[in-house]
Structure 1
Amino acid sequence: MENIVKSFARSLGNGIAMGEQLKAAIDHVIKERDTTVIVKLINAAQKKGDKQAESAVKFTFGKIFEGAKIETKKGNLSIRIKDATLSNSAVDILNSLAGKVSMRGTNWNKAFKGETDKPEFDVQAWAEKQVKARPEQLEAMIAALKAQRSNVKKAA
């Protein structure tokens, strides 16, 4: 466990190496159910003033152990996983990222977030919002939209 923490602290400038060490730490937590190593990784990042690394560790750990509680009492950090659920899909994602993708890049977080569907545009809600915001401009907005309609028909 101490080797993981030392290696992580040394690799704070290298996002790929950080990911490898985080994977080793999370494997330890899964096997032993002891979060001390994750607390030490977060403390190492804090000691170096590396907010990005600290945030990446917390984010990733939160995705692996859904419902984990990270608390700070009297300056001491603790993580509870008693009521947390281990996400096997997140573990698979971690296994595919470690050693290949930098924890510092956007692809790391994107991999854990997955695909999100864009909500369908609600025309009625948009119209209501515009009328509420500028009721005195309603006729001008309708005229402007009609003018845009003729532009769209020409382009099509």
Structure 2
Amino acid sequence: MKKIVAAALVLGATSASAAGQFSTLITYDAVFSQPSTATGTTTTVLNTAVEYVFPRSLSLYGGFAFIMRDSFESAINYGVRFYSPTPLFNWGGSTPVWSYLGLGYYLVDNNAYYPEAGLRVATSNNTRMDIFLKVFNSDNTAYDKMATIGVGLAF
């Protein structure tokens, strides 16, 4: 049943008659919680990606991540986000704010995946700002149960 619901969501969000939009997505994640069992100290993650946003509340993104740990590490990352179909509210009366839930993946040692939740603010017709929270899961104790808060810019 879960597979049918997921397929219906993806099919509805990626309507064949709808044309999406490509944009550059740059995000900065700051680590605010790391378990005491972590084998390294990760401080920040910088992501650069290309995002494809479908007109019906779905986006796919992929790119490169630069991870500042005890030493510098790079990775490939990709993910998917489901946005609220209509803005949650209009900030200041004219700036729409959408919520989203997503799932992403870093191709690093032992790989790491993360669920994310956030808000997307339309700062202009061509620019969007994201504020989000991620919780990492991995077999590598350097990333497992690490939580980050971040900000992003799509243009």
TM category, shorter:
under 0.3
Normalized per residue, the structure richer in helix is 1
Report which of the two structures shows the higher radius of gyration computed on alpha carbons.
Answer: 1
